[in-house]
Structure 1
């Protein structure tokens, strides 16, 4: 959806799609260069990119890569800058910004394209994808003795004890993982491990630690149970997690309301769990 807003002496164009907004205005001429500023957000991760799609006199399109300028941690919006190519006086240049975020592209389309009429109201509200924000990357090493229980009526139980060297790195959360706690995992006969982990984060700000509790699945594959029964572990296995956090640290009180979504891998060659945690903002959130 396109909007045009007047800001000062400049018309600001706005495009919104699936909860993500792009804002941009005409180029600013400085030092003989046509500089463009584009605002996009809310950001999914620090890897979001913006490029300008340019065309001279309606000819073939070419892309120009922008660079990040700043990010507002409160609104989640990022600002990008780019330099438009020079054109001779007799030619015109049309351009538009395109955002790549979370594996998706947000493209306003050519400026001359007419705006499509609004679709009819559906009988049921259409589903919209949530906006994901990267919380942090976790690296959790474990001791090599994972204490397999052998086959029981309830599957094979494993206990992984956390050791020193764990780290947490994110835009608003940095710290280390204390060498206490661990993961208690039950592996079903189909090779799916149901994990339940508890640990403490020692954050870089404040004195109080952050307790985190993970539940989720680790997929050892269809033959994983038989291999574990023989004492063998695969080199790696994908994990999907649902972490929650609890702390009295005022710097991280926002984490008490956070429901995380973790995606990563258990590297069993070095007994280390590596995963990224995201939070999701839905259309019903304020």
Structure 2
């Protein structure tokens, strides 16, 4: 009899609270409706990640259907010790057309109404942060009118 494989363990690394600006509406494209959400700053706190989100990044979104969005956020974090870590965060956000419509309009939505999962890729040239280059991360997200909150977990 073959045993079922066990899922990998997850270790909580930290939470990113990413402040966002007003969306830039690109409009309908062959892939879907595109929007660019500027990233204006934020904070990072947790047992393995602490620092601040640097302004200048953006979340490049494709709204495939009224119930499904594909997110591609790219920005940088400056750690407490001064290192810079780049974040490339691919995510899926789905829910009812009504709930995602409220998000698109910048209105509050209960996170329990939305499936928001991500795979943030962290990279750094700082030797003390090399562990992020060799670690796979997954996360959950919550969207608020002025920010996105991402809870990041290292896959064991």
Aligned to 2:69: 193
Give structure 1 stretches of 5+ with no counterpart: 1-121, 282-286
Distance of 1:191 and 1:148 partners within structure 2 = 18
Picking from 224, 246, 260, the partner of 2:137 is 260
Aligned to 2:86: 211
Deviations 1:58-115 (A, max 9, x none): xxxxxxxxxxxxxxxxxxxxxxxxxxxxxxxxxxxxxxxxxxxxxxxxxxxxxxxxxx
Distance of 1:265 and 1:134 partners within structure 2 = 16
Task: Report the RMSD for the aligned CA atoms in angstroms.
Answer: 2.0
Distance of 1:233 and 1:127 partners within structure 2 = 42
* 1:252 match: secondary structure: helix
Aligned to 2:150: 275
Larger Rg: 1
Aligned to 1:163: 40
The residue correspondences of 1:123-134 to structure 2 (distance < 5 A) are 124-134=2-12
The change in CA–CA distance for 1:254 and 1:130 in structure 2 (over 3 A counts) is same
The residue correspondences of 1:1-286 to structure 2 (distance < 5 A) are 122=1, 124-143=2-21, 145-164=22-41, 166-205=42-81, 207-223=82-98, 227=101, 232-236=105-109, 237-267=114-144, 269-270=145-146, 272-281=147-156
Tell me by how many angstroms 1:221 deviates: 2.1
Distance of 2:99 and 2:28 partners within structure 1 = 13
Deviations 1:241-262 (A, max 9, x none): 1011111112211010111111
Aligned to 1:26: none
The change in CA–CA distance for 1:233 and 1:188 in structure 2 (over 3 A counts) is farther
Q: Which of the two has greater helix per residue?
A: 2
Distance of 1:222 and 1:254 partners within structure 2 = 39
Structure 1 length as normaliser, TM-score?
0.49
Tell me by how many angstroms 1:220 deviates: 4.5
Deviations 1:21-40 (A, max 9, x none): xxxxxxxxxxxxxxxxxxxx
* 1:254 match: secondary structure: helix
Distance of 2:142 and 2:45 partners within structure 1 = 17
Distance of 1:211 and 1:138 partners within structure 2 = 13
Structure 2 length as normaliser, TM-score?
0.86
Distance of 1:222 and 1:212 partners within structure 2 = 29
The change in CA–CA distance for 1:234 and 1:192 in structure 2 (over 3 A counts) is farther
Task: Figure out how many residues of one structure are paired with residues of the other and give that number.
Answer: 151
